[in-house]
Amino acid sequence: MELKLILEAILFSAQKPLSLKEIRDVFAGAPEHAEGDERARRLKRVKEEEVRAALEELAREHEQAGRSFRLACVAGSWQFVTEPQYAPWLKALVGHKARPPRLSQPALETLAIIAYRQPVTRAEVEQVRGVAVDGVMQTLLERGLIEQAGRAEAAGRPMTYATTAGFLEYFGLPSLEELPAADELRRAPAPQPEGLATVDPGLATAPPEQLAAPAEGKEPEGEPSPGPG
Amino acid sequence: MGEYKVKFEVFEGPLDLLLYLIKKEEVDIYQVNLTRLAGQFIEHIETLRLLDLEVAGEFLVMAATLMYIKSRELLPVDQQARAEEDDDGLDPRWELIRQLVEYKKFKDAAAQLQALEARQENVFPRAPGRAEFAAAPPPRCEASIFDLVSAVSAVLQRFGRRGEADDIFEDKWTVSEKLEHLLRAMAEQPRMKFSELFAGAASRSEVVATFLALLELIRLKRVAAFQDEPFGEIVICRVEQPGALLA
């Protein structure tokens, strides 16, 4: 398909990742350079959906062809990138990429909780980790990986947090849908009896109302109690 | 030893410690023997306190929870059945297991994110920016505070039962002295096994002083502790610092 090849040419020359909107702008601006080329005029108002579908197909083709580079979508923007196994040569060619130091374990865990459960309050995060997360949250905010997303509908209207586009770029993810094992981790924890705190007093501070998990009002599953009869 | 209070920030919490102990036992979370786990947890806290390290409140709360769970299991069976659910209708054993299972899931997710992070370092776009940082050092497994405490606990056992008398008389090593001693040792030998650090120790207090000095050096990033195999030998390495004076 012609559209695919044009997209390939555009992305081949692009100096930075391009969003669908930016790509459409390119198509909109092409006819004035076309000098009578019909194709440019025809494609001037190409739809976003068509572009996306063509890009996805193009990406699949490159991957199947087993080339040393592929078409990647990161945070919604598209770009050709090399495969990781060629890193030694690329590093020798361009020097190491400017990357901030790697994240610590506590930072990654906190980030994982926020990523899967967003929007989420600090207290909810602490409830899963079992420790205070102030320092780590500060680091994640400073690194631009999370941001304040709003306020929860609960007593005290606590701040909620969500991940940023920077988060997707940092991990090379096209979107939040592509988080590994998303279904399982997004799911609220095992059903809790209604209105009960799952947190021990003295650990993190969430009163039950702050927990985002929908109250399913069932008995907790556990060892069957040999009832007194 | 009171003059030098080592502040070692333990970012890991009680759930981390529990998962660490469970992993060490190589049992499935659902199969874990909570009574035994409670014992190990308390033991670990005791070692931390012996080393005069600050134990965060959350650990003490967890210790209390574990003791509570353990005590319920000591009840005669018929009483146990009635007490199966405590006042707010929750089975504390189930609560704890549930919390551990959920936390473990996120730990695994974090590991996957870490893999993605590493992968991104090797992926190059068409027009990469100028390199501003020096090459990242090859990643190695850093020993956690729990690993270090477990290791020193093993060393301390060489000195037999806790003799209060020893601690009073053998106070000739201060943490500051051990700090300098360690730095000098690392200047000559940049890589040492954890056990080698304590080879010449003659008393419990000397071991403790050495350990606290080690923790301080790690905190100051003068040395780093690595453990290539889980629960294996720990290696202490000097950290190269441009322009820094050693010892």
**Residue A154 above 60 pLDDT?**
yes
Helix residue ranges per DSSP H, B89-139: 92-121
Q: Tell me, what's the pLDDT at B6?
A: 52
The rounded mean pLDDT for chain B is: 78
Q: Which helix (H) or strand (E) holds B43?
A: helix B34-50
pLDDT at A204 over 60: no
Mean pLDDT calculated for residue range A35-47: 84
pLDDT of residue A100: 78
Tell me which residues of chain B, numbers 165 to 224, contact chain A at a CB-CB cutoff of 8 Å: none
Single-letter residue type at B214: L
**What does the pLDDT read at residue B80?**
60
Bigger pLDDT: B161 vs B190 = B190
Q: What is the residue type of A54?
A: A
If you write DSSP's letter for every residue of A122-136 in order, what string do you get? HHHHHHHHSS--HHH
pLDDT confidence of residue A222: 39
Tens of pLDDT, residue by residue over A49-102, are 999 999 999 999 999 999 999 999 998 899 999 999 998 898 888 876 667 788
What pLDDT score was predicted for residue B79?
A: 65
B86–A contact, CB cutoff 8 A: no
Q: Where are the domains of chain B?
A: 1-120, 141-247
Helix (DSSP H) and strand (DSSP E) numbers for chain B: 10, 3
pLDDT tops 90 at residue B156: no
pLDDT at residue B106, as a whole number = 93
Positive or negative: CA dihedral A136, A142, A145, A150: positive
Most confidently modeled of A124-133, B87-96, B135-144?
Answer: A124-133
Mean pLDDT of B178-193: 87
Q: What percent of chain B has pLDDT over 70?
A: 77
Chain-centre distance for alpha carbon B51:
12
| Chain segment B3-58, per-residue pLDDT in tens | 455 554 454 788 988 998 888 888 888 888 888 888 889 888 888 888 777 777 88
pLDDT of residue A22: 93
Using a CB-CB distance cutoff of 8 angstroms, which residues of chain B are in contact with residue A181? 109, 112
Q: In what order do the strands lie in the sheet with A69-74?
A: A18-19, A77-82, A69-74
Q: Shortest Cα distance from B3 to chain A (angstroms)?
A: 28
| pLDDT(B127) > 80 | no
- Domains (range + CATH), chain A: 2-94 (1.10.10.10), 105-187 (1.10.10.10)
Once rounded to an integer, what is the mean pLDDT over residues B79-105?
A: 74
The verdict on a CB contact (< 8 Å) between B112 and A184 is no
Specify the CATH number of the domain B141-247.
Answer: 1.10.10.580
Question: CA A65 to CA A80: how far, in whole Å?
Answer: 14
| Chain A residues with beta carbon closer than 8 angstroms to that of B97 | 222
**Under an 8 A CB cutoff, do A129 and B133 touch?**
no
- According to the model, what pLDDT value does residue B242 have? 53
Mean pLDDT, chain A, whole residue set: 80
pTM listed for this prediction: 0.67
Q: Over 80: is that where the pLDDT of A145 sits?
A: yes
Determine what percent of chain A is predicted with pLDDT higher than 70.
Answer: 79
Chains A, B: CB contacts within 8 A come to 179
Q: What is the complex's ipTM, to 2 decimals?
A: 0.72
Residue B188: predicted pLDDT: 85
